[in-house]
Structure 1
Amino acid sequence: MSSSKVSRGSDRASIEVEPIARVLPMLSVPHLDREFDYLVSAEQSDDAQPGVRVRVRFHGRLVDGFILERRNDTDHHGKLGWLDRVVSPEPVLTTEIRRLVDAVAARYAGTRPDVLRLAVPPRHARVEREAVASLGAPDVAPVDPAGWEVYGRGGAFLTALAEARAARAVWQALPGEQWADRFAEAAAQTVRAGRTVLAIVPDQRDLDILWQATTALVDERHVVALAAGLGPAARYRRWLAALRGSARLVIGTRSAVFAPLSDLGLVMVWADGDDSLAEPRAPYPHAREVAMLRAHQARCAALIGGYARTAEAHALVRSGWAHDIVAPRPVVRAASPRVVALDDGGYAEERDPAARTARLPSIALRAARSALEAGAPVLVQVPRRGYVPALACGRCRTIARCRHCTGPLQLQDRAAQGTVCGWCGRIDPTVRCVRCGSEAVRAVVVGARRTAEELGRAFPGTAVMTSAGDHIITDAVAKPALVVATPGAEPPAEDGYGAALLLDTWALLGRQDLRAAEEALWRWMAAAALVRPRRDGGVVTVVAEASIPTVQSLIRWDPVGHADAELDARSEVGLPPSVHIAALDGTAAGVRALLDQAELPEGAELLGPVELPPGARRPPGTPADTPVTRMLVRVDRQLGLQLAASLRRAVGVLSARQHNEPVRVQIDPLHIG
């Protein structure tokens, strides 16, 4: 980099050593994602170190920024401005996190300021001034390897962590497994070896479970939990504990993947198939991918665990980057419940009146009754909350939609005098099919509240509990009861459920989505894992055709085989993770301008344009009455970074022209459609 003479104002004291700070301003426009040089005054010099927050004047206004380095020269030809002030001397942007931010922005075609907003929480001045107590070395309880040794390679994985080796694995948890205990043992082994640990989970409920497990082995003064529900002060206080080294173990939800831990020894992710791990803000990174990027950069151990397995996790195993940790088949069969698949086509023909009322075959009701009579609770999983969350024409099966916004129409309860739009909330007293004109309607999906009502009539005298939406049961169920829950809201049972009934399975399997089968199996296995093993009478009834491959994987309890077949199928048709795909959402003119500007890799394939898939949000800044399209760009796996770089440059060029239409760029989006 060439140097030029540094101009200094006469009103500030000058310094001779490293008088220039290279600053990254936190600007929202892509073409200004670059560093700018500013002069540092003598009174600012001690505090203006790399990683600290500053305020600088940019085009006449004050903006926030981070100092990236101090320099003796500049390539700016002209007069330099001065730092306005150092916001705080705390170096919140560490070298490791800066490298991670750069890698995430490059991987997802984003800007560094956008990634930094995800990585570094807002400052809380009072918390920053609080005294920091010296905690010393953490107390770590001895780790019993028996729980991991059940899995064959699990014992070797624990040994590798104790020796601070970079062991990487994808772990297939057994049904009924206390996964948090295994995570806690891996974390304790790493902390005992003098390294730090980062563990990422989908939601607050998983976070609470993992907190209890980890603090049973590691001194809780050295354990920090980061979650979105914390207030600004509490979150910043805990984040600073990781930055300053007092926290040796950080557990949290997706944003915690950027926690500023030094000497990282292990990164863990639980249930990487959960949508909650995908960031809804630009540049839309997935916590699993960020965690694996971090493990690669830090050359540390990594663990992805779950009852089911995603194609992305299996691709890591197939590539050799990670090892497989699975239990032998005899152990799996002994731990899993008995799974029975029943076709749902004959409810009306059942002789049992209760079966018709509850929309269940008689054999499923008998399994539920047996479990309840034995004193065990029964879990009933339904795919949607509400009463009747989706309606269709009773004659031609066309989905009933709102006349104002085309949102789905639904019934709120049995006494409702009309349908309600699930998007805009308008009430429609009459429903007329737009295709055939019929006023007859039928339920497409029956919600959790309607199911609980029907089961209450089928099982008089039995307590019926609902766990869904804003009312999720977190305490373990102890008494005999019917628990109706949506996927992800299933509460645990103290001694395991005696039976589980999986209803309306086609609502998960039948979605037009790349990950429909994978997500369905994960949802079913997460529920079935709460059921007692078959030797204790545990039975899972899935209302679906037994010939469906995903149902077969559940019956055999073979998530690895399902992931292997899923990965092969995606490779054959060119879908992630065998390739990289960029989704470009915007107006037709905006997408066309972006593609004209981008120098796409050789062999890039354009797919589309098509209408924006149902459920996908409109790109920010797009007028509500403007049609939005989606274009897909597909490249080979090894060209992913090149594709992201070309789109990133094109977005920057169009942003500099200031008359472009907004286009949202997502690399490998979770839902392609």
Structure 2
Amino acid sequence: MEQPVARVLPLLGVPHLDRLFDYAVPEDMDAHAQPGVRVRVRFSGRLVDAFLIERRRRSDHPGQLRPLERVISPIRVLPKPLWELVNTLADRYAGVRSDILRSVVPSRHASAEASGLFADGAAWEDLGAKLQSVEEAATQSYAAAETALAPYTHGTAFLSALVAGKPARSCLLTPPGSDIPTLIAAVAAAVAWNTDGSVLVVAPNQRLVDRLVAGLKEHMNPAQVLEMTASIGPNARYRRYLSVLAGQARVVVGTRSAALLPMVKPRLMVLVGESDDNLVDPRAPYIQAREALALHAEHSGSGLLIAGVHRSAEVQQWVDRKLVYPLAPLPEVLREAMPWIRGLGETDGATERELHAPGARIPSMAFEAIRECMERNVPALVQVPRRGYAPALSCAKCRTPARCRHCNGPLELPTSAEAAPPRCRWCGQTAGLFTCSSCGNHSVRLAVVGHDRTVEELGRAFPGIPIIASGGKNVVDQVRLRKSIVVATPGAEPTVDGGLYGSAVLVDPWILLGRQDLRAAETALRHWMEAAALVAPRTEGGKVIFAGAANLPTAQQLIRWDPVGSARAELAHRAEAAFPPAYSVAAIDGTVASIENLEAGWELPEGAETLGPVELPQGVRLPAGIDSHDPQARQSARRLLVRVPAEHQAELGQALRRAQSVRTIHRSGRGPQPDALRVVMDPVRIG
């Protein structure tokens, strides 16, 4: 053999073993033991799975090499571009490469390999029943995409660049009332039919994936659209992954784990809802799909399209750096699509007094807007920030927040039943007889009202009108175009079949704005804009009522419909405070002992600043290794922040990655939980 040495990456998930090891290739495995295949090796006395990364003539190891145990499958499931992208992400997110690979490459299923590719390996154009010729499909899809992008500045030029094979990258802001999945489907179909490349579309949830798939099926055969989400089984997921590797799947729609799929000849990558928290992987190394997809497009030379009604500070930074080009609706298009948006206290003292009236959650002009919808036989939307009945309670006497005596979590009232006792929202234990820790009082009041209680209130105010609740585990995808009132939590608003809402009421906006979070204002504005975008234009009587003070800066950005200005202001504020995305921040969670052990092994880049450690912020999940059932566990958890300028993010990630390797090698037994440590780059919640 010319290359008898195989360099493999064992899938161990341990930082100090995240490197390549040399093994000897037996002669009978020479043909199948190629770079990218799965192999089985003996490591430290036990058999483990590994990826074969490369073959070499000789090894740097002075001793005798162990042979490969076997080649699990001769299929190269780890192509070289994907391996290079995984290395980049591991450096940027201070992660272990085997953790990233486990989330991208599905587990092997022999039956899926035996089944082969779909339709006996037919080309993408020949999948399913032929409804029209390729030439007709290319012409019609391009015309539909051109029509969809015509209302946007430079929209048709962007489409022409994509079809010509240029790596055009843009962020598109849609006006209210626009159907984003239909627009994306038209652009994706045009690129797929008019080029020989592939298209990857990533969405934050299954609801959006279903709407995108339905839109794509209007332009192509259903067999030509491949869905990659958690809802499909492991066998089907592996078979579809093989279809992607072979280049048979040229149009793929999926959730966050699909952002790194090794597409063949990628021409366009699309991201919908780029600032949704569901795009952040809850498993180490906590990769954000927005960053992963942008890096994927950069590595592969593909086009990139980020679409939505709102723009985050991270995307605005890309716009300022000329990494993506903005596509905005024409002024006249935006004016025609805008509903009438109004907050309290705008014109006279009456509405200002109503804002401060006790118990006035829903103002009178919101009731008037809902009544107008019922008269026009169209649905009305009421957005409530919190799910449940009463998700937060407080002492009825001194207003101190009611906490659980076991874990210090917040108490909630799960139902409207009078006999239902309060329970903890964290551990689920019943509170029994509540006793205020400040004044000793035993009675509670509703500090926050959820969407279930709002349904009760509106049911009494509008008898005989159907009230539809959408939120939590019961999310409604679509409602009929008839008189009804829809009460939904942010992100769970159903669409209207064949139309739009007549009005939207944004209740309790102070809850979203009052979150102790760096992204509180940005997240609140995104939720409000997404709800307002479902409302009919003002020419058709569409109204959006903001049940809060209209002079709030975030409320003014909503009323003026200024996503660009809000993103610029948010980015400027973050830069002034030295927080993401102007700066890169690593959140290190653990015990005092585990954090000290990490600090002993790191060499931070120049200019790095440490903040803390402080107590772990409320609502942040405890790192693995700390007993969540222990009442004192949260009090022992700490958070240390390390921040550097954004251009040094990769250096910080590499430094923390090396420090974790050193720590696991020289692990100290000091402290109650020496292994409890979690490193998150640019977390969703900093504190």
Q: What's the TM-score once normalised by structure 2's chain length? A: 0.93
1:347 shift after superposition: 9.9
Give 1:136's aligned amino acid: A
How much does 1:349 deviate? 7.8
Aligned to 2:308: 306
Alignment partner, residue 179 of structure 1: 180
SS at match of 1:303: strand
For 2:104 and 2:74, the matched residues in 1 are separated by 18
Q: Are the counterparts in 2 of residues 477 and 491 from structure 1 also a CA contact under 8 Å?
A: no
CA contact 1:161–1:189 (8 Å) conserved in 2: no
Q: What residue is the counterpart of 2:153 in the other structure?
A: 152
Does the CA-based 8 Å contact 2:504-2:545 persist in structure 1? Answer: yes
Match of 1:4 in 2: none
Report the equivalent of 2:130.
Answer: none
Opposite residue 221 of structure 1, the aligned amino acid is: A
Which residue in 2 is equivalent to 1:108? 93
Which of 634, 638, 661 is residue 629 of structure 1 equivalent to?
A: 638
Query: How many angstroms does 1:219 deviate by?
Result: 3.3
Distance 2:11 2:102 in 1: 9
Determine if contact 1:22/1:35 at 8 Å carries over to the other structure.
Answer: yes
Query: Match for 1:667 among 658, 681, 685?
Result: 681
Give the whole-Å Cα distance in 1 for the aligned partners of 2:358 and 2:314: 41
Q: Distance in 1 between matches of 2:345 and 2:520?
A: 19
Distance 1:632 1:341 in 2: 38
SS in 1 for 2:27: coil
Q: Tell me by how many angstroms 1:356 deviates.
A: 8.7
Which whole-Å CA distance do the structure 2 matches of 1:551 and 1:240 have between them?
Answer: 48
Task: Confirm or deny that 1:93 pairs with 2:78.
Answer: yes
The residue that corresponds to 1:511 in the other structure is 515
For the residues of structure 1 that align with 2:510 and 2:564, how far apart are their CA atoms? 22
Alignment of 1:379-398 (within 5 A): 379-398=381-400
**How far has the Cα of 1:480 moved from its partner?**
0.7
Q: Is the 1:332–1:557 contact (alpha carbons within 8 Å) kept by the matching residues of 2?
A: no
SS in 1 for 2:436: coil
Shift of 1:376: 0.5
Instruction: Note the C-alpha offset of 1:477.
Output: 2.5
| Helix, strand or coil at the partner of 1:457 | helix
Q: Which range moves more in the overlay, 196-205 or 337-346? A: 337-346
Q: Could you list the runs of 5+ residues in structure 1 that have no partner in the other structure?
A: 1-15
- Counterpart residue number, 1:169: 170
Could you list the per-position Cα deviations for residues 14-63 of structure 1 after superposition, in whole angstroms to 9, with x for gaps in the alignment?
xx221111110001211000111111112211111111111100010000
Counterpart of 1:365 in 2: which secondary structure?
Answer: helix
Q: What one-letter code is carried by the residue in structure 1 that aligns with 2:476? A: I
Cα distance per residue 1:99-124 (max 9 Å; x no partner): 11111101100011111111111111
Residue 205 in structure 1 maps to residue 207 in structure 2: yes
- Is the Cα contact below 8 Å between 2:345 and 2:351 reproduced in 1? no
- Partners of 1:238 and 1:360 in 2: how far apart? 49
What is the SS of the residue equivalent to 1:544?
strand
- Partner in structure 2 of residue 655 of structure 1: 664
2:429 paired with 1:426: yes
**2:299 counterpart SS class:** helix
Residue 404 of structure 1 corresponds to 406
| Secondary structure at the counterpart of residue 478 of structure 2 | coil
Is 1:453–2:456 an aligned residue pair? yes
Question: What is the CA distance between 1:98 and its match in structure 2?
Answer: 0.7
Q: Name the count of aligned residue pairs.
A: 655
Alignment check: 8 A CA contact 1:40 1:48 kept: yes
Farther-moved stretch of structure 1 (211-220 vs 148-157): 211-220
Corresponding position of 1:479: 482
What is the CA–CA distance in structure 1 between the aligned matches of 2:418 and 2:585, rounded to whole Å? Answer: 44
- Gaps of at least 5 residues in structure 2 are 126-133
Q: 2:532 aligns with which of 515, 522, 528?
A: 528
Structure 2 residue 36 is matched with structure 1 residue 67: no
Give the 3-state SS of the residue equivalent to 1:161 in structure 2.
helix
Alignment partners' CA distance in 1, 2:435 and 2:334: 51
Q: Structure 2 CA distance, aligned partners of 1:482 and 1:97?
A: 48
Shift in Å at residue 669 of structure 1? 0.8
Note the C-alpha offset of 1:328.
2.7
Cα deviation, residue 357, structure 1: 8.4
Q: Deviations over 1:448-479 (max 9, x none)?
A: 11100110000011111111111111133222
TM-fit CA distance, 1:210: 0.2
Aligned to 1:9: none
The verdict on how the C-alpha distance between 1:652 and 1:603 changes in structure 2, with shifts beyond 3 A counting, is same
Q: Following the alignment from structure 2 to structure 1, what is the Cα–Cα distance between the partners of residues 200 and 185?
A: 11
Is residue 236 from structure 1 mapped to residue 238 from structure 2 by the alignment?
yes
Deviations 1:272-304 (A, max 9, x none): 111000000000000000000111111211111
Corresponding residue for residue 131 of structure 2: none
Aligned to 1:293: 295
Q: Quick check: 1:601 aligned with 2:605?
A: yes
SS state at 1:540 partner: strand
Task: Decide whether the 8 Å contact of 1:188 with 1:214 is kept in 2.
Answer: yes
1:623 deviation in Å?
4.0
Q: Which residue of 2 aligns with 1:329?
A: 331
Quick one: structure 1 residues 577 and 357, their matched pair in 2 at CA, closer, same or farther if it must change by over 3 Å? closer
Helix, strand or coil at the partner of 1:380: strand
Contact map agreement 2:392 2:410 (CA 8 A) in 1: yes
Per-residue Cα deviation, 1:233-255 (whole angstroms, up to 9, x for no partner): 12112222111111001110000
Determine if contact 1:21/1:40 at 8 Å carries over to the other structure. Answer: yes
Give the residue type in structure 1 aligned to 2:14. Answer: V
Q: Distance in 1 between matches of 2:492 and 2:354?
A: 30
Q: Is the 8 A contact 1:224 1:251 kept in 2?
A: yes
State the AA in 2 paired with 1:551. A
1:267-286 correspondence to structure 2 within 5 Å: 267-286=269-288
The 5 A counterparts of 1:572-587 are 572-587=576-591
1:398 is paired with a residue whose SS is coil
Code of the residue aligned with 1:644 in structure 2: it is: G
Q: 1:613 aligns with which of 614, 617, 621?
A: 617
Q: Is the 8 A contact 1:357 1:457 kept in 2?
A: no
Distance 1:314 1:475, change over 3 A: same
State the shift of 1:593 in Å: 2.0
Q: In 2, Cα distance between the equivalents of 1:53 and 1:545?
A: 60
Q: Report the 3-state secondary structure (helix = DSSP H, G, I; strand = E; otherwise coil) of the residue aligned with 1:43.
A: helix
Deviations 1:485-533 (A, max 9, x none): 1111111113100011111111111001011011101111111111101
Does the aligned pair in 2 maintain the 1:343–1:543 contact within 8 Å? no
Query: Which residue of 1 is the match for residue 31 of structure 2?
Result: 46
- Whole-angstrom CA distance in 2 between matches of 1:335 and 1:252: 30
2:123 is the counterpart of 1:136: yes
1:589 to 590, 593, 600: 593
Map 1:364-375 onto structure 2 (within 5 A): 364-375=366-377
CA–CA separation in structure 2 for the residues paired with 1:338 and 1:361: 16
The residue type paired with residue 649 of structure 1 is R
Distance 2:238 2:116 in 1: 14
1:350 CA displacement: 6.5
Shift of 1:432: 2.1
Offset, 1:346? 9.0
Aligned twin of 1:562: 566
* CA deviation vs aligned residue, 1:611-665 (integer Å, no higher than 9, x gap): 1011111111234444110010111122111111111101001111243623211
Which secondary structure state, in structure 1, belongs to the residue aligned with residue 28 of structure 2?
Answer: coil
2:652 to 643, 650, 653: 643
Structure 1 residues 122, 651: CA separation in 2 closer, same or farther (over 3 Å shift)?
A: same
Residue 468 (structure 2) aligns with: 465
Give the drift of 1:218: 3.1
Q: Alignment partner of 1:267: what SS?
A: strand
Identity of aligned residues (%): 46
Q: Is the 8 A contact 1:272 1:306 kept in 2?
A: yes
The 3-state SS of whatever aligns with 1:449 is helix
Relative to structure 2, which stretch is displaced further, 134-143 or 475-484? 134-143
- Distance in 2, Cα, partners of 1:609 & 1:330: 52
